[in-house]
Amino acid sequence: MTDQSENNTPRLTGSVNDPRMRRRYRAERRFHAYCISAVLVALAIIVTFFSDIIGQGYTAFWHHEVQVTLDYNERSERIGQFALDSDLRDVASRGATRSIPRAIDRNPDLLGTTETTWVPVKGDIDQHFKNDKALSDSLEEKVNRLLADGQIRNAFNSRFFTAGDSKLPELAGIFSAAVGTLYVLGITLLFAFPIGVMSAVYLEEFAPDNKLTQTIEVNINNLAAVPSIIFGLLGLALFINFFGVPRSSALAGGLTLGLMTLPIIIISTRAALRAVPDPIRLGAFAMGCSRWQVVRDHVLPASLPGILTGTIIGLAQAMGETAPLIIIGMIAYIPEAPTGIFQSATVLPAQIFTWASEPESAYVEKTAAGIMVLLAVLLTLNAAAVLLRRKFERRW
């Protein structure tokens, strides 16, 4: 009868000896562990991701240089390669001597002089030192000897930041893409910031609650979720085919990204305006301000930090965007930085995409290094946005 009496006594819930309770606690611990492992998996992915990119890219910030004596003579006036000691012609980068005929042309006094300088080695040789890329035996023996003699050195690759794209990996840099990015983002900001803030001010402060306003609101929310490649199709059909903006130009790219960033700026500006409490407005109205005076002198200054935060986040998103820019042709080969908004330009993500499609292995480290620069800028922008919000956000 013990069985029955046990069944009849009311069980104390929470008793650890109860097998059913134990099962439930086990289930509880299991579920907790699933949740923790999901977060840990996500964090592990982040760590893997960053260490992978940095591991592949950090080598690109250094490169090997060879010390050469450039001989400005009649032969190198025609073909730059002849300025080099014949022994070093298969070591030094072809690009290092390419500009010699032009330099002599511009400054004939150079003729007959010599100059000792460091120039980048060929991409294959650089990869030989970094990744053990196979070279021909004689060349390998030569570069190892030069390295031992101190005629080849490992130096900071400043060229990566000061040069444009190049078909020779050892000469390629991000400068032209960085300038292009500045142009494109400048246009995006000029276009999307005023229109975005004005739209948000209208919707929050001026708009009556009618069908038109609701349509605009629904429309903005939907626009924010339209795939970016569709904005590329729009940019192609509208700006390039209809308005005749030059293909690949910073103007076309900036306007396309501007349309894409617009809903982000509108949504965050509206949130910032909504955070300003109504008594501020009512107080200003009570002093006889017109609606515009209330907005200009009271609501906008109070919500400015929030508006700027949203704008920075929107710009950071635009800065990483590639797909719509590919559609409007911004993946052209741009060795020189653009000097105007109508010129063909490229941007950092597009440069990364172009390098990623190059077959030479030397471009892999360039790609990863470009990614490191891009990520550093984006993380800085996002951190700046967060700090801005923390520092200036007012609790009412």
What residues from 246 to 265 belong to the interface with other proteins (CB under 8 A)?
A: 259, 262-263
| Unique residue bearing structure tokens 């970094």 | 130
Amino acid at 194: P
Query: 67 - beta bridge partners?
Result: 118
**Residue 389 structure tokens:** 């919000």
Here's the x/- map for other proteins, 46-85, by CB under 8 A: it reads as x--x--xx--x-----------------------------
Question: By CB under 8 A, is residue 379 in contact with other proteins?
Answer: yes
Nearest distance from residue 243's CB to other proteins, in Å? 7
Nearest distance from residue 22's CB to other proteins, in Å? 12
Q: Which CB atom, from 91 or from 184, has the smaller least distance to other proteins?
A: 184
* Whole-angstrom distance, CA of residue 335 vs CA of residue 169: 12
Q: What percentage of the chain's residues is helix, strand, coil (to nearest 5)?
A: 70, 5, 25
- Give the count of beta carbons closer than 10 Å to the beta carbon of residue 288: 7
Residues contacting residue 248 through CB under 8 Å, at least 6 positions apart? 328, 329, 330, 332, 344, 345, 346
What is the phi-psi region of residue 4: left when phi exceeds 0, alpha when psi lies from -120 to 50, beta otherwise? Answer: alpha
Question: By CB under 8 A, is residue 225 in contact with other proteins?
Answer: yes
Binder to other proteins among 139, 229, 275, 388 (CB under 8 A)? 229
Three-state DSSP state, 376: helix
Q: Running DSSP on this structure, what letter comes out for residue 207?
A: -
Q: Which CB atom, from 241 or from 339, has the smaller least distance to other proteins?
A: 241
**CA 311 and chain centroid, separation:** 16
Nearest distance from residue 126's CB to other proteins, in Å? 19
Residues contacting residue 288 through CB under 8 Å, at least 6 positions apart? none
Here's the x/- map for other proteins, 313-352, by CB under 8 A: it reads as ---xx-xxxxx--xx-x-x-----------------xx-x
Please report, as residue ranges, which positions from 297 to 316 form the binding site for other proteins (by CB under 8 A).
316
Question: By CB under 8 A, is residue 280 in contact with other proteins?
Answer: no
Question: By CB under 8 A, is residue 371 in contact with other proteins?
Answer: yes
- Give the count of beta carbons closer than 10 Å to the beta carbon of residue 210: 8
Nearest distance from residue 201's CB to other proteins, in Å? 6
Binder to other proteins among 99, 114, 162, 290 (CB under 8 A)? 290
Binder to other proteins among 79, 155, 237, 287 (CB under 8 A)? 237
Backbone φ, ψ for residue 40 (5° rounding): -65, -40
Q: Running DSSP on this structure, what letter comes out for residue 68?
A: E
Give the DSSP per-residue string, 127-140.
HHHHH-----HHHH
Q: Which CB atom, from 31 or from 156, has the smaller least distance to other proteins?
A: 31
Q: Which CB atom, from 317 or from 343, has the smaller least distance to other proteins?
A: 317
* Whole-angstrom distance, CA of residue 60 vs CA of residue 363: 9
Q: Which CB atom, from 115 or from 297, has the smaller least distance to other proteins?
A: 297
Binder to other proteins among 1, 12, 39, 134 (CB under 8 A)? 39
Binder to other proteins among 91, 250, 345, 364 (CB under 8 A)? 364
Please report, as residue ranges, which positions from 105 to 144 form the binding site for other proteins (by CB under 8 A).
none
Please report, as residue ranges, which positions from 163 to 222 form the binding site for other proteins (by CB under 8 A).
194-195, 198-199, 201-203, 206-207, 215-216, 218-222
